Amino acid sequence: MDMTQNVWRAMEAGDIAGVAAISDAVHGRFTEPAEVYRERLSLYPGGCFVLEQDGALAGYLVSHPWTRRSSPELGQLIGSLPQPGETYYLHDLALLPAARGTGAGRSGLDLVERGARAAGFADVTLTAVHGADSYWAARGFAYVDQDDGAAYGAGSHRMRKTLPG
């Protein structure tokens, strides 16, 4: 029996170096500098979480209000959030290999969906990379007609999930 303890908690400024290290390990050419995570935490702390697995950082998620027309540019600061936002954007959910297959992804997505509903949004959008579109499709996300691949390049897919009720 797996006794691994996964706990999502609010991200704190002291977590940023660990978050950036996880991004580097998981995302390859899609990684983003620590400043991006620091800014998102500053702009929308209620949408930023880290996963602790047996006391060590094993993942993170960043989400915030955004527009339906585009994805934030990869690796770029955004300065401010749109007022009002049109959708709840799952900027990133990254898990180290040891956290995959433990239910951490599902519980992280649950956090995002609860946050979206609490903020009054009817849907969640994201940009899938590295072939992750099949993962997101299995969780109810559909491909968006206008693929703005400019933000993340070839092989990226904008996806949206309408939230129930």
Q: What is the residue extent of each domain of the chain?
A: 6-162
Q: How many residues does the chain have?
A: 165
Residue 74 clears pLDDT 70, i.e. is over it: yes
Closest of 152, 154, 67, 159 to residue 109, by C-alpha:
159
Q: What is the pLDDT of residue 112?
A: 97
Q: Which of 33, 42, 32, 56 is nearest to 12 (CA)?
A: 42
Query: How far apart, in whole angstroms, are the C-alpha atoms of residue 32 and residue 25?
Result: 11
The 10s digit of each residue's pLDDT in 120-137 is: 999 999 999 888 899 999
**Whole-angstrom distance, CA of residue 130 vs CA of residue 18:** 21
| Residue 146 in this model has a pLDDT that exceeds 70 | no
**For range 22-26, the mean pLDDT:** 96
The C-alpha atoms of residue 100 and residue 84 are separated, in whole angstroms, by: 34
At 29 the three-state DSSP class reads helix
- Six-digit token pair at 74? 């990869």
pLDDT at residue 1, rounded to an integer: 44
Q: Average pLDDT of the chain?
A: 91
The continuous run of DSSP H or E covering 66 comes out as strand 56-66
Please tell me the CATH superfamily of domain 6-162, with its number: Gcn5-related N-acetyltransferase (GNAT) (3.40.630.30)
Say if residue 31's pLDDT is above 50: yes
